[in-house]
Chains A and B, each alone.
Chain A
Amino acid sequence: MNITDLKRGDRAIVSAVVCSPRLKERLRTLGVRAGGVLRVLKVSFFKKTYLLQAGGNRLAVRREVAECVSVRKV
């Protein structure tokens, strides 16, 4: 399961982030890291962009980036 399987308001724990090292590092600094909790704040109309809350950070990621983040729904 990854972020794109979540709906607005869902909370999940990140299991793994599988992407390029630079992107992984950017996601890590913005709170999207293995073991961290995130919440989906909003999904765009065509499900192209996901707005997330991770730690104290609110960030938007494109669908292709969201697919790289495996999660476990809580």
Chain B
Amino acid sequence: MRERAQGLELLLVGNPNAGKSTLFNSLTGGHAKVGNWHGVTVGELSKETVLGGERCLVTDLPGIYSTRGMSMEERSACEYIEKHPEALLVFVGECATLPRALPLFGELGKGRKCLLVLTKRRQFERAGGKIDADELSRILGIPVLDAEGFRGKRLKERLSLLLKDASEGETFSLPPSYAPAREGLSRADRWLLNGFFCIPLFFGILVFTFWVTFAPGLLGDTLKSLITRFFEETLGGLAGKISSPVMRSFLADGLLKSLGSVLCFLPQIVLLFFFLTVMEESGFLSRLAILTDGVFSKLGLNGRAVFSLLMGFGCSAAAILTTRGLDDKRIQRRVILCLPYISCSAKLPVYLTLASSFFPDPFLAVLLLYVLGVGLALFVAFFLKSGEASFVLELAPLQFPRPAYVVKALLFQVKQFIIKLGTVILAFFLASWLLSSFDVHLRFCGVEESILARLCGGLRFLFAPIGLGDWKIAYAALSGLIAKENVAGALGMFYGGFPFSAQSAFAFAVFILACSPCVSAIAASARELGVKSALLYAALQTGSALLLSYLVYFLLTGGYVNFLLLLLPVKIFLLLGYEKIHRKRKHHPESLHG
């Protein structure tokens, strides 16, 4: 728990999607997740900053519609406000939704010092609305800051000036000059809310994203090739000149092959995040949620799950946290169980390493795996379906993605990736290299005589049924529990690629797709579902992933013959069982089907 700063504490309070996290980032230089979606912020986030020469602790809270809220995050935000009675409330209100936000502010601001920050004024006025911040301030009796056009330092300065004037509000009602925005749907929305246009558009965007990112010769592949060449030719060439075999092995195998196998995919990961961020910023996701709610209801989910599922393409752990925005615990549980099957960006290096073994075109291979993952996720949701939940979603405004925010989000992802590579992943590869390069007497040796071979030799049976009876494969697969990128790095370190059959490669890819997520995602699940449940689900997912990979390999190597042979006993069993039941109950077919 963060200690309160010696000084002012500000709580950013408001409806979802009002701009609280954007304000938080401007005031603190922080990296709270922003997006044009109701429910992006799912937990409290605090950071110290200096406002008006005074140290302050600024806390970003999840959005609140009402103090008698429906969602988990609303309740958690209200509890936080109650537990910090001395904190100054900074109400963040979107101009268009002020009529509903003001009564909430009045309720929360009773007996507390507060001020109001207005957001999205330009958008509101373009839609025909009118608001006068000064008049509003006079009626409310608290300082009102129009944040339009102010960013970073200038916004901080403006807010600092108003802090000392923060006071208890008088009447939280609208000024007479306030005029609401035009009703109805814009022309763009008439298209985007048409399922026959929007759904194909969405799939088109996805396919285009995959094509630009993975197709040979295009942007993602070109950038990846540049990095791979740099590691293999430039750095690998330098490492090859080192005379000491231990040092040479350390640099070439321990560092370059393993790190290079992961780092080369960074451009493709960034491209994927770029498209996800643009979709998120534009307001497209909320339209997609509305259009897909009907389909999701058949799976026991609701349209809000679209956001979490799409975030799963970026990072499973972050996607699990977004499930707090779902109003129903049952739906949250189901979505969390589906998310491991949505291929996160960390699995990308593994897929691309394996893909070249079974598909000449990596674009098609990765597309297939992603589609398979989504199919599995929806199947799991359907399998776990029990009852229906309600669906109420506010439509986010459509906006052109703000380039500054997109760039900032991407740079943050790159930074996080580099930090992860330089810490968790590097530590794993160094440990792996040490254990695989020295024997029990600490003599430099080949991998089969190493400490690691001694420790993990027994694992060779794990993937033997899919033609991979090598302990190094099992070690690589299990290393994915720490971070999925480790799998690609371990394969790179041990093999330099994947020198096995196409069927084995695909079956192994299916295992990676369906197995438990990394420890970060398991920890996120544990926070939402409890430690025992999270560990149980992880174990079940890994076990079922193993069986699924065996089945896939069986079907791929035996072909249709094996598939029919598999079906035959099932059909016979069902037939026998049907006849037996009818005979036992002395049923006459005519009376059943007449």
Contacts and interface: CB of A to CB of B under 8 A. Distances in A.
A62 B297 contact: yes
A55 B99 contact: yes
B385 to A, nearest CB: 15
Interface in B154-208: 180-181, 183-185, 193, 195
Contacts of B180: 55-56
A26 B293 CA distance: 18
B31 to A, nearest CB: 30
Contact of A49 (B100, B181, B183, B293): B293
B392 A59 contact: yes
A26 B395 CA distance: 14
A31 B65 contact: no
B96 interface: yes
B290 interface: yes
Interface string B359-394: 000000000000000000000000000001011111
A22 B293 CA distance: 20
B70 A51 contact: no
Nearest to A27: B392
Contact of A21 (B68, B97, B293): B68
A25 interface: yes
Contacts of B65: 25-26, 29-30
Nearest to A21: B68
Given A29-B66, A48-B294, A55-B99, A61 B395 contact: no
A59 B287 CA distance: 11
Nearest to A39: B183
A53 B186 CA distance: 13
A51 B291 CA distance: 10
A65 interface: yes
Given A23-B70, A39-B183, A45-B195, A56 B100 contact: yes
A21 B96 CA distance: 26
B302 interface: yes
Nearest to A23: B390
A13 interface: no
B297 A59 contact: no
Nearest to A19: B390
B104 interface: yes
A60 B393 contact: yes
A7 interface: no
Nearest to A28: B66
Given A25-B66, A45-B195, A62 B100 contact: no
Report whether over half of chain A's contact residues are helix, strand or loop; otherwise say mixed.
mixed
Interface in B388-415: 388, 390-395
Interface in A38-74: 39, 41-42, 44-46, 48-49, 51, 53, 55-62, 64-65
Interface centre among A25, A51, A53, A56 (most CB of B within 10 A): A56
Contact of A30 (B185, B390, B392): B392
B100 A60 contact: no
Contact of A56 (B96, B293, B392): B96
Given A23-B70, A44-B195, A56-B100, A30 B297 contact: no
A23 to B, nearest CB: 6
A60 B395 contact: yes
A41 B182 CA distance: 13
Contacts of B195: 44-45
A23 B104 CA distance: 17
B29 interface: no
Interface string B33-73: 00000000000000000000000000000000110111000
B303 interface: yes
A62 B184 CA distance: 19
Nearest to A60: B290
A46 to B, nearest CB: 6
Interface of A: 19, 21-23, 25-31, 39, 41-42, 44-46, 48-49, 51, 53, 55-62, 64-65
21 contacts: A23-B70, A23-B390, A26-B69, A26-B392, A29-B100, A30-B100, A30-B394, A39-B184, A42-B185, A49-B291, A49-B303, A51-B395, A56-B96, A56-B100, A57-B394, A60-B293, A60-B395, A61-B391, A62-B293, A64-B388, A65-B390
Nearest first, the 8 A-B pairs at minimum CB distance are A48-B294, A62-B391, A58-B395, A60-B290, A29-B65, A22-B70, A26-B70, A29-B66
Given A21-B68, A22-B69, 19 more contacts: A23-B392, A25-B70, A29-B66, A30-B392, A42-B193, A44-B195, A45-B294, A48-B294, A49-B293, A49-B303, A51-B185, A55-B180, A59-B394, A60-B290, A60-B395, A62-B297, A62-B391, A65-B391, A65-B392
